[in-house]
Amino acid sequence: MRRGFDVVTIFPGMIESYLGESIVNRAIRNGLLDVAVYNPRDYTKDRHRTVDDYPYGGGSGMVMKVEPLYELLTDLRKDGRARRVILLTPQGRTFDQQMAEEFVQDDRRPVFICGRYEGIDERVRELLVDDELSIGDYVMTGGELAALVIIDSVARLIPGVLGDDASSREESFSWGILDYPHYTRPPEFLGYGVPAVLLSGNHAEIMRWRRREALRRTLERRPDLLDRARLTEEDTRFLRELCSDRTKSSGEDTDESYKGC
């Protein structure tokens, strides 16, 4: 499987520098990922190559113009490929792991429009955009990092990108819960050891321990995730045990939304 993205930005170097390193770079070199970067400045017609202008109605900050983006997308569409045009903005739906998995399955090529300045002419939304995504409830200076976050999280789900295919699937966020604790050598450091089960060589016990530690962490840190997680009966039993221990030791009711608690 191969996945490709188009990124529309007035700062192509931001995207290119990240893609020049590490695992995503190897994925590109191995032909599993391709990312094409386009600059709206190349689609301007005036001498100053203007991509922004003052807001109608006044106020501070500049607004990204519609024409260069319209020309750029019209040009992209000439190859007849199916595309999904996505505007990156804090006003979009919040990106998550499930959406990353949907990108891997979707044959439409995503086009990320990275907003800049104080905003983007509303007609870009009306005429060009299929969907709006945010990477979280905070405001950055532009959508470039958001595009990279999405590309990176999708890239590691493409079979072959991580080398060992199991590592992306087995990792617990794909179960909908947090990750379990990891250890490597030495077996003891400053008096801190490694859980004996991990040194036991008993694969079934190790899997059980990891699953339980992942559940324990999720209950402690992100109980909200448990409502949507894919849980087995054994998971639910274990969580109930943890919940009743907590209730007993705190002497009060837990306020977890977790349904088994």
Which residues here bind ligand ADE, judged by CB under 6 A? 88-90, 115, 134-136, 138-140, 142-143, 146
Measured from the CB of residue 23, what is the shortest distance to ligand ADE in angstroms? 22
Give 39-44's long-range contacts (Cβ < 8 A, gap of 24+). Answer: 39/8, 39/9, 39/10, 39/12, 40/8, 40/10, 40/64, 40/68, 40/69, 40/72, 41/10, 41/68, 42/72, 43/67, 43/68, 43/69, 43/71, 43/72, 43/75, 44/68
Cβ distance to ligand ADE smaller for residue 85 or 215: 85
Measured from the CB of residue 162, what is the shortest distance to ligand ADE in angstroms? 25
- Cα separation of 40 and 129, whole Å? 15
- Cα separation of 77 and 137, whole Å? 32
Measured from the CB of residue 11, what is the shortest distance to ligand ADE in angstroms? 13
Measured from the CB of residue 234, what is the shortest distance to ligand ADE in angstroms? 38
Cβ distance to ligand ADE smaller for residue 19 or 147: 147
Q: Name the closest residue to ligand ADE (Cβ).
A: 146
Measured from the CB of residue 30, what is the shortest distance to ligand ADE in angstroms? 28
* Distance between start and end Cα atoms, the chain: 41
Cβ distance to ligand ADE smaller for residue 104 or 140: 140
Cβ distance to ligand ADE smaller for residue 134 or 172: 134
Instruction: Give the amino acid at 261.
Output: C
Cβ distance to ligand ADE smaller for residue 152 or 256: 152
Measured from the CB of residue 84, what is the shortest distance to ligand ADE in angstroms? 16
Report residue 23: phi and psi, to 5°: -65, -40
Q: Which of 174, 39, 203 is nearest to 100 (CA)?
A: 174
Tell whether omega for the bond before 55 is within 30 degrees of 0, i.e. cis: no
Look at phi and psi of residue 218 and say left if phi exceeds 0, alpha if psi is from -120 to 50, else beta.
alpha
**Tokens 């221990």, residue located:** 245
Cβ distance to ligand ADE smaller for residue 134 or 168: 134
